Amino acid sequence: MCDDRNIITVNGMYPGPFIQVRNGDSLVISVVNRAQYNVTIHWHGVRQLLTAWSDGPEFVTQCPIRPGESYTYRFKITDQEGTLWWHAHSSWLRATVYGAIAIYPREGTTYPFNKPDRDFPVILGEWWNANPIDVVNEAIRTGAAPNISDAFTINGQPGDLYSCSRKHTETFRVRYGENILLRVVNAALNQELYFSIGNHMMTVVGVDASYTKPFLTNLLMLGPGQTTDVLITADQLPGKYYVAARAFASAPNVSFDNTTTTAILKYTKYGCSSKASASASQPLLPALPAFNDSLPGKAFASRLRSPGVVQVPQPVDMNLLFTVGLGLFNCKPGQNCGGPNNTRLTASVNNISYVSPTNYSILQANFLGLPDVFNPNLPPVPPLKFNFTSANIPRKLWQPMPGTEVLRVKYGSVVQLVFQDTSILAPENHPMHLHGYDFYILATGSGNFNETTDTAKFNLIDPPRRNTVAVPGGGWSVIRFLANNPGAWFMHCHLDIHLTWGLAMVFVVDNGVGELQTLKPPPPDLPMC
Ligand code: C2O
């Protein structure tokens, strides 16, 4: 059955407004909260150079904007071109509060490929036949996993495989012969997604607002938070083609609705082509991998490269290893304990399950020098003497400690970070997202990260630049970045349920020397808690 429901939107739009800017532009965006929930907006992937107060994650760079109040975000696009997006960063509001950001080439410059005839955002989302805030609150209350979503969506519509969506299926209208840039965003809350288009090969030209070395593919894999720019040419028989996405979940024991969301690529006009008289019949679904097949996703990620040789920052000043994974809290009297064996599900970084402060944001507390809001020394993991891909992980690691731990970083440090999935409960993918920076992905692999043998595999020549890395379930990824942006920068798994469970931490990057290395005081309208 089809029913109507009220959702939280921005300017009455779902998805929200499509922001189109140029590299180098300055943006001023006022957010007026007319909803009954606290909200903040995060500009996902925008580097926010020296504008940490505008980054947006709740209780990290600001207190929430309360109902009836407002806050103006001010920031500049610095050396980024391609596609980013924005979303609410409070509870699970981002289920409906999100939109795409297109960053066009800097004034007076052009694309490093033929200028496309048109470009479209293709935002993949996730829909519940319930209020998503209730869904997450129920999971928090019971300690169990949340209800899975009822549909995936493309630009807000599940597509015509779902009868309720038939009339509203998203349609991309193109003309025969055109070159089209698709800006694909994975805005789903909890699922990696495979993406493909019937009969059309895609040329990947960018990810996370950085250009890539172009390559041809019929399949994309995007973790939540990631974007991919692809070029297609409308050179097939005029007609309709399916644009489709389907979830990929690595955990073999997750029961899971593997339905497919679709949109239509529709040829509206064609020139004097011999194909003009012919016409494709019913749109066919492109072949998408099975939901538990991780290999095509890994193969896709391994093809991403920066366009040319890049300056990977070195030497490394901070060499970190973070374990990322699920865990279990013991049940206390009076609690609901819907997790396995009478426990509550949780998640952690280095065995610390992140607890958000409530009276100040981390950035405010750091600016004001308040000592009691966070601890500045996220503890390191014990040496990895056990195998994270086996069942013999020490019991201690199953039971993380709750805490508000951050890691302080000196301005200008080169930070190298290994993410190691712990496979506790199940091997789980973690799309790890860092605020305030792009990083280079030096390597990804399966099993335990091995300092000696795996370091030799690092790509220090043309690694891809991203803000979200897909750490494979039962495996690891290594990133590197230069900490040249002072502020408090959230880093978390972009699977919202993992974030809810505490798979997060904060880098507090100190000011450097002089005005160009110093974060200014907060704007006067910064919300207080
Ligand atoms: Cu797109 Cu902290 O997130």
The CA distance from 49 to 77, in Å, is 9
452 in a structural domain: yes
Same domain assignment for residues 123 and 98: no
Predicted local distance difference test score (pLDDT) of residue 340: 87
**C-alpha 391, offset from chain centre:** 29
Structure token digits, residue 167? 């009339």
Residue nearest to ligand 1 atom 3, measured at CA:
44
Same domain assignment for residues 245 and 337: no
1 CA distance to ligand 1 centroid (A)?
Answer: 33
User: Can you list the positions of beta strands (E) in 338-413?
Assistant: 343-349, 352-354, 401-403, 406-409
157 CA distance to ligand 1 centroid (A)?
Answer: 22
Predicted local distance difference test score (pLDDT) of residue 250: 47
515 CA distance to ligand 1 centroid (A)?
Answer: 28
Residue nearest to ligand 1 atom 1, measured at CA:
44
Query: Which atom of ligand 1 is the closest one to the Cα of 468?
Result: 1
Domain, as residue range, for 357: 318-517
Same domain assignment for residues 369 and 283: no
Same domain assignment for residues 261 and 159: yes
Which of 408, 490, 456, 398 is CA-nearest to residue 61?
A: 490
Predicted local distance difference test score (pLDDT) of residue 134: 97
Which of 332, 348, 331 is CA-nearest to residue 340?
A: 331
Label residue 158 exposed, middle or buried (CB < 10 Å: 0-12, 13-18, 19+): buried
Query: Which atom of ligand 1 is the closest one to the Cα of 85?
Result: 1
Structure token digits, residue 520? 């200014």
Chosen domain end from 56, 86, 108: 108
Q: What is the number of structural domains in the chain?
A: 3
Query: Which atom of ligand 1 is the closest one to the Cα of 94?
Result: 1
Same domain assignment for residues 322 and 271: no
The CA distance from 404 to 358, in Å, is 11
Predicted local distance difference test score (pLDDT) of residue 223: 96
The CA distance from 37 to 248, in Å, is 31
Query: Which atom of ligand 1 is the closest one to the Cα of 225?
Result: 1
List of residues 6+ apart from 108 with CB closer than 8 A: none
Same domain assignment for residues 69 and 132: no
Query: Which atom of ligand 1 is the closest one to the Cα of 224?
Result: 1
pTM for this prediction: 0.96
160 CA distance to ligand 1 centroid (A)?
Answer: 30
Q: Which helix (H) or strand (E) is 132 found in, with range? A: helix 132-142
3-state secondary structure of 184: strand
191 in a structural domain: yes
69 CA distance to ligand 1 centroid (A)?
Answer: 22
Structure token digits, residue 484? 């040249």
Same domain assignment for residues 95 and 131: no
Predicted local distance difference test score (pLDDT) of residue 377: 87
Structure token digits, residue 304? 């991403």
Q: Is the four-CA dihedral 24, 509, 375, 351 of positive or negative sign?
A: positive
380 CA distance to ligand 1 centroid (A)?
Answer: 24
Query: Which atom of ligand 1 is the closest one to the Cα of 57?
Result: 2
315 CA distance to ligand 1 centroid (A)?
Answer: 28
CA distances for 293 relative to 250, 298, 503, angstroms: 8, 10, 24
350 in a structural domain: yes
231 neighbors 137 (Cβ within 8 angstroms):
no
pLDDT in tens, the chain (529 residues): 688 899 999 999 999 999 999 999 999 999 999 999 999 999 999 999 999 999 999 999 999 999 999 999 999 999 999 999 999 999 999 999 999 999 999 999 999 999 999 999 999 999 999 999 999 999 999 999 999 888 899 999 999 888 888 889 999 999 999 999 999 999 999 999 999 999 999 999 999 999 999 999 999 999 999 999 999 999 998 889 999 998 886 444 444 445 789 999 999 866 555 454 455 567 888 988 887 888 999 999 999 999 999 999 999 999 999 999 999 999 988 899 999 889 999 999 999 999 999 999 999 999 999 999 999 988 887 666 666 666 566 666 688 999 999 999 999 999 999 999 988 888 889 999 999 999 999 999 999 999 999 999 999 999 999 999 999 998 999 999 999 999 999 999 999 999 999 999 999 999 999 999 999 999 999 999 9
What are the pocket residues of ligand 1 if the criterion is a CB atom closer than 6 Å to any ligand atom? 42, 44, 57, 87, 89, 225, 433, 435, 490, 492, 494
Same domain assignment for residues 58 and 135: no
The CA distance from 2 to 331, in Å, is 39
Same domain assignment for residues 98 and 52: yes
Same domain assignment for residues 71 and 154: no
440 CA distance to ligand 1 centroid (A)?
Answer: 18
Give the CATH number for residue 128. Answer: 2.60.40.420
